[in-house]
Amino acid sequence: MPVHTYTNWNSRPSDREEQVEPFRKYFFICEGANTETFYFEKLIDIRKELGIHPLIDIRLWEKTGNDKNVSFAKNLVEFAVRQKEIPENEFDSNRDKLVIVFDGDIFEEKVQGYEELIRAIEESDIAAVSNPGFELFLLLHIGGSYEKYIEGNEENFLKLDEKNRYGYAYKVLLEATGMNAKKNSDIGNLAEHVMVAIRQEKRINQDIHQIKGKVSSNVGMIIESIMNEEPDI
């Protein structure tokens, strides 16, 4: 199967509620194979502590096998859309939402067609974009990180390094946490501080239609909207 679904729906042994089906499921699928997986698995594990409504579920589609390295944003979108059609993935197109998580940095100089891609996603799904990358969003989970690392320093985040990569956010996160976000699963524990990230993200650009040349993220905004959702049942 192209994806493995990570969920803890109705698997919390401390719960005594009647086992019911969710009103809506949010399926996250990510460009990165490691860092984002570490984070969203932890977020799913603590969904109850975050106060997410009991009838709202969060699931992660983890790419498997030959599809594990599907990453280029356009290819990821096409792959994700195909997963919705597979019955075993339990996606209900009438109620559920697909959140496609990818980095915006590739659109800074190398790739065209960003706005067309976003508009195509938003016809039926949700685009979660960080610019330069997901490490920026993770950095926002650390109290005071906006003032310490980002404010007045935005241009460094969007500057290519000696390896022709946007590696500044990764390096700053490594300095701030002591963890290699690509290899250390403990980086996912930052999800416990998602409320800090949500607050700090409001201080950077959250309009994913206007990310070029701007340190940006709307991941926290999406998570906040899920946390605030009250099913209309």
Q: pLDDT tens-digit profile of 72-96?
A: 889 999 999 999 999 999 999 999 9
Quick one: pLDDT band at residue 1, thresholds 50, 70, 90? low
- The predicted pLDDT at position 13 comes to 47
Report which listed range, 12-26, 32-46, 155-169, 195-209, is most confident.
195-209
Mean pLDDT within 98-122: 93
pTM, full prediction? 0.92
- The predicted pLDDT at position 67 comes to 77
The DSSP symbol for 185 reads G
pLDDT of 19 > 70? The answer is: no
Quick one: pLDDT band at residue 210, thresholds 50, 70, 90? very high
Mean pLDDT within 177-187: 96
What tokens does 93 get? 């197109």
> What CA–CA distances, in Å, run from 118 to 11, 27, 114, 121, 186?
35, 18, 6, 5, 31
pLDDT of 10 > 80? The answer is: no
Domain residue spans of the chain: 3-10+20-228
- The predicted pLDDT at position 2 comes to 78
Q: Which residues have a Cβ under 8 Å from the Cβ of 90 and sit 6 or more positions away?
A: 5, 25
Mean pLDDT within 149-176: 94
pLDDT of 165 > 90? The answer is: no
Quick one: pLDDT band at residue 32, thresholds 50, 70, 90? confident
- At 113-122, the pLDDT tens digits run 999 999 999 9
144 in Cβ contact with 196 (< 8 Å): no
Sheet holding 3-6, edge to edge: 3-6, 56-63, 24-30, 97-103, 126-131, 216-217
Which strand (E) or helix (H) includes residue 173?
helix 168-177
Q: How far is CA 49 from the centre of its chain?
A: 19
Quick one: pLDDT band at residue 209, thresholds 50, 70, 90? very high
Which strand (E) or helix (H) includes residue 69?
none
- Of 212, 215, 32, 207, nearest to 112 (Cα)? 212
66 in Cβ contact with 110 (< 8 Å): no
Mean pLDDT of the chain: 91
**What is the share, in percent, of the chain residues with pLDDT greater than 90?**
78
Strand partners, 3: 63
- The predicted pLDDT at position 61 comes to 94
- The predicted pLDDT at position 227 comes to 97
